[in-house]
Structure 1
Amino acid sequence: MSSDEPDATSAEVTFADLQIHPSVLRALADVGYESPSAIQAATIPPMMAGSDVVGLAQTGTGKTAAFAIPILSRIDTSSRTTQALVLAPTRELALQVAEAFSRYGAHLPVNVLPIYGGSSYGPQLAGLKRGAQVVVGTPGRVIDHLEKGSLDVSHLDYMVLDEADEMLQMGFAEDVERILSETPEYKQVALFSATMPPAIRKITSKYLHDPVQVTVKSKTATAENISQRYIQVAGPRKMDALTRLLEVEPFEAMIVFVRTKQATEEVAEKLRARGFSAAAINGDIAQAVRERTIAQLKDGTIDILIATDVAARGLDVERISHVLNYDIPHDPESYVHRIGRTGRAGRSGAAVLFVTPREKHLLNSIERVSRQKLVESQLPSVDDVNDKRVEKFRESITEALNAPGIELFRKLIEGYERDHDVPTAEIAAALAVQSRGGGEFLMTEPPPEKRRERPDRDDGPPRKRRDNVRSDLATYRIAVGKRHKVGPGSIVGAIANEGGLHRSDFGHITIKMDHSTVELPAKLSRETLKKLEQTRISGVLINLQPDRGPQHQHKSK
C-alpha cells in the first residue's frame, strides 16, 4: 500500500477528526496543537487502524508526534509490560522522543523510559523493574538490557525505527536486525527515514507487513523551503571564506559543520577572535555544557554553533536560518540530515556547502542522493565585505546619535575643537581609529596562493608511494572477536554511540578470533574513556585498551 503525503494539511482536518484518545487530545490542546502537519495527517490514520507504516520524512516535519500520538491512543495503560519500543540513533534523539511521549501522554497513566549509552545503568534498571509501557532507546543499550534480561520485549505491540538511515550509517544494522528478531512477529512497525537506501528497503521487506508508505510529494529528498548552493574554496582559504560570508550574508543563527572534534574548537576560537559570537559542541563536551550552549543558541547569546555530525543530531532550534558545511560530508545522507537543522517549523532556510577542487565527486554524490542540483555561488568579494563594513559603520553612528550621554561627549568634543583648532571631522576620525584598537577597518585582497613547483621527473630519487596512514590515530584492543559474532558495523556503532565518536574517528578494524583491534583517535578524552568502560558488544564488556602488539600479548599469557 502507498499513501502520498499531501502538500499541505487540509484546513478542515483537526486532531479531533483522527479518532485520537481523549486524554491525548487534551494534552495536544495543552501544548497548543490544533491541526496535524502533513506527515501527521497521513500517518496517524493508518497507525490507528493497525497498519505498518514507512514514512519518508525530513527532520522537523513533526514525525515524532505522527507515531507517538497513535501509540499512546492505543496502548493498554492497565498493563505495566513494555508494549512500545522506539529505536533512535543517538541519546539526544532518544531523550527528545521520550520527552515528546511524556508530553503527549501527560493525562495518561503511562510510564516512558529512555535508555541510552553514556549514562548509568542503575536508574534504567530501576525504571524497567517498575514497568515502562514505552521504552525509547539506542540500539547498543537496548541490546545490553536484552542480554541482562532487564528488558522484556516478548509482549511488544508497537515498534518504531526513527531516523533509520542514520542508525544504519552509524553501523547499527546488525543490532537493529537482532532486536527486531527478538520481538513478536505480529506487532505494528513504523519506520521513518529521510532517505531510502537499499539496506532500509531490506529491513522493510523483511520485517514489515504490507506497510502504508507515506512520502512527501517533492522532487527532492531535501526540503524545498531550504535554498542550497555551493562555493568552490581551496582548503587553506576556508576561514577567510567563512568570515566573508558571515560579514555579508544576513543570518539569524547558523550551524557550521566540520568533520572532527578538534576542528570545532579551532574554528570557534578563530571566529571569536574575529568578533563573532561562536561556540563549539562535539562528543567530548559534557552533556550539561552541551545543553547550556544550545540554550544560549536559542536565546541569542550566541549566533554561530560549530558542530560535528554526531553532536548536532537531535538539535531543534527554530532560529537557525543557515547551515554551512565547512567540511563536505563523505556520505550524502549526512548532508541531508545536516541541512535539516534549518527550515524548521515551515520557516525558510539556507544551506551553503564549501567544496575544494578535489571534492567535486562528493558534490556529485550529494546532488544524486538529494535529487537536487546545487547552485554554484561566488564568494563575496573584498569590495562586498568593505561595502558592508562601511554600511554597518554608518548605522552605528546613527544609533550612537540617539544614545544616552551624548550631550557630555558633544561638550568634550567642542572643547577639544576650540582648544586645539582641529576640525570636527578629524576628531571623529581619530575616535573611530581609537575604537578599532589598532585593527584594520577595510579588508585587503589576500596574496595569491603559492603553487609548489614540481621537480622534473628525472631530478632526485623516485617518489615513495604515499600510504593512506593517519597520524592522529592509534590502535586499541577490544575483548570481542569472531567467536562473539561481531562485525565492523557493530563495533563502530557501539563505540561511536557510547563514546560520542563519529565514523570519521575510526580507522582500520581487524577482527581476530577472541579479540579485535580498532584504530581510534590517539588522544581520547578522559570522559570518552570513562563512557567506554561500561560499553558492551553482544553482551561482552569490550575492555578497551591501547594495543601493545602480539609480542606483549604472548608474554602476558
Structure 2
Amino acid sequence: MTDLNIAAPLAAALAAKGYETLTPVQQAVLADEVAGRDALVSAQTGSGKTVAFGLAMAPEVLDGNDRLLFAETPLSLIIAPTRELAQQVARELTWLYAEAGAQIATCVGGMDYRNERRALERGAHIVVGTPGRLRDHIERGSLDLSQLRVAVLDEADEMLDLGFAEDLEFILSAAPEERRTLMFSATVPKEIAELAKSFQRDALRLQTQGEAKQHVDIEYRALNVSARDKEHAIFNVLRFYEARTAIVFCKTRMNVNHLLARMGNRGFQVVALSGELSQSERMHALQALRDGRARVCIATDVAARGIDLPGLELVIHADLPSNSETLLHRSGRTGRAGQKGVSALIVPPAEFRKAQRLLAGAKVVAEWAKPPSAEEVQERDDARLVDHPVLADAPGDEGALAQTLLDRYGPDHVAAAFIRLWREGRSAPEVLHDSLPPREAAAPRERGEFGDSVWFTLSVGHEGRAEARWLLPKICDAVGITRGEIGAIRVQQTVTFVQIAKAVAGRFGASVEIEQGLTMERMEGEPNLARPERPRGERPQREKPAYAPKPSRFVDEEGEAPRERKAYTPREDGERRPYGARDDGPRKPYAKREDGDRKPYTPREGGERKPYGAREDSPRKPYAKREDGDRKPYTPREGGERKPYGAREDGPRKPYAKREDGDRKPYAPREGGDRKPYGAREDGPRKPYVKREDGDSKPWAKRDDSSAPRKPYAPRGEGAEGADRKPRWKAGDRPEGKSAPRSTGFKSHGGASDKPARAFGTKSHASEGGAYAGRPAKGKPAPKPAPRDARDTSKRFTPPKKG
C-alpha cells in the first residue's frame, strides 16, 4: 500500500485494521486519472466500496492536512438508500478517519431530529444520511451545503428504484456546482447511466474486473420443491448448513411475519427486519445478530439493503426476487471480504422458468438439486457432533464428575444422553415429498409424443367451471409431481380427463381426493375424445319449420276476420307487375310534369277537383290579404254583416280609447249607466285619495262631522252603538271555578297575578297545559299534557314539591 496515493492518517487506520492489500475497486479509485474527477463506479457487492469512496474523497476532505480543524459546514456528503446502510457507512468512516479527527454526523429517518441538528451545529466534516431526512434538514435550515466539496451516492440503483430521484435532485441543487460527485453501484443499468449524466460532469466510468463474471466466493443452489414443502425446505436448508448467521428474504411484510412465527415455534433463534418496525427495533435486531443472540434474520429487500452482518454464510430466497439486479444484491450479503457463502433459491414448480430467467440475467450458474431431506439433515448433524472440537479436548476439572457418571450409568447411557441433549436444542428435520429434479428446457414437442401415460377422470367439468390452468396446480400439489409429468387435460361437460406420466401414476392409486368434493379416479384405457366424422363439405341439415304467414292487422269491417295475405309468387311470363298495380290494369309509371306544377292528389268527380275545404253549396274563395291591411276578426254574421266582438244586444260597443284627460273611472257595476266609485257608501260617494300639496298627509283619524264613513276601532261602552259586542277581557273578571284564559301576548304578560298567563306560542311563552299545549316550542319536542285531577276537571295539576 505504500506505492498508492493514500493520505497518512488513512494509511495508519488501514494498517491498524489489518489491511495488507486493497481490493480491485479500492485500487481503481486511487488511480492518477481519477483524482479530482467525477466517477461512476460499479463493483460486486461486498468488494469494499465503502472504504473505496472513503479513500477517493480524502483529497477534498483533508485538503493536504493530516489533522482536520473545526468545520462550520460539511465538507463531504454521503447519501445512502436505507437507514441501516447509512449507519453502517458512518461506522466504517469513523475508524477510517479517526486519525484525522473527522467529525461524522448521521441524518436518518426514525432517529431524534433534535440530536441530529445539535450534531450539525457542533460542526461535522462528513454527513451521512438518507434522502428524505437530508432534504428535511435542508428545508429547515439546519444543514448548509454551501461549502460542500464532494458528494457520494452509494447504492445509486437502489435509490432510483425507491423513487428518490426528485430528492436527490433537490439535495444536490443546494450544493455548489463545482463540487465533485461520485456514484457507486453494484450494477449500472441504463437508468443509472442517465441519472449520472444529470448529476455529474464528464464522469469517468470505472468497472472492476469481477463485475462481469460470477462471484467466485458465492455458491448458487436452486432447490426445486413442491408448493406445499416450501417452508419445510427452508427449515431443512437452515439445519443442513447450520450457518453462524443466515438471512431469509421475503417479498412482503406479511410473509416476513408469517415465517417469523413459524420459525420461532420450531426453536430457531430468529429476528425480523421490515418497514413497519421502528428504527430502535431494527437496530436491536441487527445488534442481536452481531453479538450472537440471534442466528437467522427474516427481511424484505428494502430493509436488508446494504447491511453487512459478520459471519453471514447463508442467504435463502424464500420468495424469488423481481429482477436479476435484486438477486445479485441479495446474494451479495454473503461471500464478503474473501469469505465463502451459499445463496439458495427456493423454486416451486410454477416459478421454474422465472428462476431460469433470473439466473441468466444475473450471469450466474446455479446447481439444480432437491432440498436436503430429513435423512441428509440428520446425517450432517451427526457428523458435526462426532467432529465437535470439545470431544477432542482432554478432561479437565470435569474428570471427577465424568467418572461418577460412567460408574453410575455406564458409558453407553452417558453417550446416549449426550446425543439427546445435543439434538434437544435443535429443530427436528422435516420430511419432504419426493420431487423429481427439473429437466433441462427442451424444444416444444408435437402432440401425441407424451410417452407412456395413464388416463384419470376428474369429477368436474364445464358445468363446474373447470379450467386447465385451475386444475394443473391442484393436481401437482396433490401428490407432489411437476407440470412436465402431466400431459393433456380435456375438460368435458361434466367430467375432465387428465393424462399422467406412467412413471408417477402409481402415486395416485386407484382414486385420490384432490380437495373436498373433487376426486380423481384411474381409467382403464383411453377416453374417446374423437368427434363423429362426416364427409368434407357436408353439414347436417336442420328441419325448418313450415312457413305460416302472420295475420294482418287490418280488417274490412268491425268484427270481421282478418284478410289473408297472399304469398309472393313469380309470374309465369317472367314479368313482375309494378308495386301497387290494380287488378283492372297496369299502373302508369311516375313521370314528372312538363310544366313543373304538380297538383296535390284528390279524388276527382267529373274531372274537376274542388279545392280543399270547399263547401257543398258553393266553392270557398281562397284567402287573400286585404288591401287596406285591416282584417276584421271572425264573427258569425247575421244578414251578411259581422258584429264586432263583445257587441251588446242593444247596440255595438265602442272600441277602447284612452281618455284625453287621463282620468279613468274605476270599474263598478253601473245602474242607469252611472258607476259608483269603489267603496262608495249608501249615503254618499267616497272622496278619492288626493295627495296634499304641502307633502304632509295627516294620519287617519275620526272625522269631526257625523257623516264620517268609518270610525277607528275603540272599545264600545254601554249604550253606545254596538253594545251587544263582547267586551274585552279584564283582570278580575275571571268567572268562579274556571281557570284563567291564556293570552297570546308578550313574555311579560305571564308574571304578575293580575295579568294573564303566558301562551304556548313561542319558545319564551312555552308552558304546560293550556289551549296551545299541543304546539311544540321551536327546536324542542312537544311537552306531555298535564294530567287533570279526577274529581275536579277544572283544577289544574300541581306537581308535588321536592323533598
Normalising by structure 2, we get a TM-score of: 0.49
Task: Deviation per CA, 1:478-497: give whole Å up to 9, x if none.
Answer: xxxxxxxxxxxxxxxxxxxx
Shift in CA distance, 134/270, structure 1 to aligned 2, threshold 3 Å:
same
Shift of 1:125: 2.1
CA distance in 1, matches of 2:422, 2:216: 44
Shift of 1:204: 1.6
Shift in CA distance, 322/430, structure 1 to aligned 2, threshold 3 Å:
closer
1:68 to 44, 47, 54: 54
Shift of 1:203: 1.3
Residue number in structure 1 paired with 2:304:
312
Identity of aligned residues (%): 33
Q: For residue 162 of structure 2, what is the amino acid of its counterpart?
A: M
Shift in CA distance, 453/84, structure 1 to aligned 2, threshold 3 Å:
farther
Shift of 1:106: 1.8
Q: Is the 8 A contact 1:82 1:132 kept in 2?
A: yes
Q: Is the 8 A contact 2:248 2:318 kept in 1?
A: yes
CA distance in 2, matches of 1:320, 1:452: 50
Q: For residue 90 of structure 2, what is the amino acid of its counterpart?
A: A
Task: Deviation per CA, 1:339-375: give whole Å up to 9, x if none.
Answer: 1110111112111011222223532442243122333
CA distance in 2, matches of 1:376, 1:96: 35
Shift in CA distance, 91/385, structure 1 to aligned 2, threshold 3 Å:
closer
Q: Which moved more, 1:70-79 or 1:198-207?
A: 70-79
After TM superposition, list the pairs within 5 Å mapping 1:122-161 onto structure 2: 122-161=114-153
2:239 to 239, 247, 272: 247
Q: Which has the higher contact order (CA 8 A, sep 6+)?
A: 1
CA distance in 2, matches of 1:114, 1:129: 13
Bigger Rg over Cα = 2
Shift of 1:67: 1.4
Q: For residue 37 of structure 1, what is the amino acid of its counterpart?
A: T
Residue number in structure 2 paired with 1:43:
29
CA distance in 1, matches of 2:457, 2:156: 46
The alignment status of 1:281 with 2:281, answered yes or no, reads no
Residue number in structure 2 paired with 1:224:
216
Q: Which moved more, 1:322-331 or 1:94-103?
A: 94-103
Q: Is the 8 A contact 1:20 1:73 kept in 2?
A: no
Residue number in structure 2 paired with 1:456:
461
Q: Is the 8 A contact 1:342 1:350 kept in 2?
A: yes
Residue number in structure 2 paired with 1:353:
345
> For this pair of structures, how many residues does the alignment match?
438
Task: Deviation per CA, 1:283-324: give whole Å up to 9, x if none.
Answer: 344444444443443344433222222332332223111111
Q: Which moved more, 1:249-258 or 1:453-462?
A: 453-462
Residue number in structure 2 paired with 1:410:
406
Residue number in structure 2 paired with 1:31:
17
Shift in CA distance, 128/427, structure 1 to aligned 2, threshold 3 Å:
closer
Q: Is the 8 A contact 2:105 2:126 kept in 1?
A: yes
Shift in CA distance, 351/333, structure 1 to aligned 2, threshold 3 Å:
same
Q: Which moved more, 1:251-260 or 1:293-302?
A: 293-302
After TM superposition, list the pairs within 5 Å mapping 1:148-547 onto structure 2: 148-218=140-210, 220=212, 223-249=215-241, 251-388=243-380, 391=383, 399=391, 404=399, 405-413=401-409, 455-459=460-464
CA distance in 2, matches of 1:327, 1:164: 24
Structure 1 residue matching 2:143: 3-state secondary structure: coil
Shift in CA distance, 174/214, structure 1 to aligned 2, threshold 3 Å:
same
Shift of 1:208: 2.0
Q: Is the 8 A contact 2:327 2:358 kept in 1?
A: yes
Structure 2 residue matching 1:217: 3-state secondary structure: coil
CA distance in 1, matches of 2:159, 2:383: 47
Shift of 1:430: 9.8
Task: Deviation per CA, 1:435-460: give whole Å up to 9, x if none.
Answer: 988x9988656599xx9967312236
**Structure with the bigger percentage of helix:** 1
CA distance in 1, matches of 2:347, 2:184: 30
Shift in CA distance, 387/167, structure 1 to aligned 2, threshold 3 Å:
same
Shift in CA distance, 243/213, structure 1 to aligned 2, threshold 3 Å:
same
Shift in CA distance, 265/399, structure 1 to aligned 2, threshold 3 Å:
farther
Q: Is the 8 A contact 1:164 1:192 kept in 2?
A: yes
Structure 1 residue matching 2:345: 3-state secondary structure: strand
Q: Is the 8 A contact 2:243 2:314 kept in 1?
A: yes
1:59 to 45, 51, 54: 45
Shift in CA distance, 298/460, structure 1 to aligned 2, threshold 3 Å:
closer
Structure 2 residue matching 1:33: 3-state secondary structure: coil
CA distance in 2, matches of 1:341, 1:264: 18
Q: For residue 167 of structure 1, what is the amino acid of its counterpart?
A: M
CA distance in 1, matches of 2:208, 2:418: 57
Q: Is the 8 A contact 2:269 2:296 kept in 1?
A: yes
Shift of 1:246: 2.8
2:109 to 99, 111, 117: 117
Structure 1 residue matching 2:41: 3-state secondary structure: strand
CA distance in 2, matches of 1:347, 1:98: 23
Q: For residue 62 of structure 1, what is the amino acid of its counterpart?
A: G
Q: Please give the root-mean-square deviation of Cα atoms over the aligned residues, in Å.
A: 3.7
Q: For residue 187 of structure 1, what is the amino acid of its counterpart?
A: R
Structure 2 residue matching 1:17: 3-state secondary structure: coil
Q: Is the 8 A contact 1:195 1:221 kept in 2?
A: no
Shift in CA distance, 391/343, structure 1 to aligned 2, threshold 3 Å:
closer
Shift in CA distance, 119/453, structure 1 to aligned 2, threshold 3 Å:
farther
Structure 2 residue matching 1:311: 3-state secondary structure: coil
Q: For residue 64 of structure 1, what is the amino acid of its counterpart?
A: T
CA distance in 2, matches of 1:441, 1:319: 24
CA distance in 1, matches of 2:100, 2:30: 19
Q: Is the 8 A contact 2:268 2:427 kept in 1?
A: no
The alignment status of 1:18 with 2:4, answered yes or no, reads yes
Task: Deviation per CA, 1:248-276: give whole Å up to 9, x if none.
Answer: 33533321112233433433443343343
CA distance in 1, matches of 2:264, 2:457: 32
Q: Is the 8 A contact 2:60 2:149 kept in 1?
A: no
Shift of 1:91: 1.4
Could you list the runs of 5+ residues in structure 1 that have no partner in the other structure? 1-13, 415-423, 466-557
Could you list the runs of 5+ residues in structure 2 that have no partner in the other structure? 436-455, 471-803
Shift of 1:55: 0.9
CA distance in 2, matches of 1:216, 1:431: 51
Task: Deviation per CA, 1:22-79: give whole Å up to 9, x if none.
Answer: 2333333333334322211111235872011111023321111211123233325455
Task: Deviation per CA, 1:170-229: give whole Å up to 9, x if none.
Answer: 121222233233433322111000111221010122322222222121364652211112
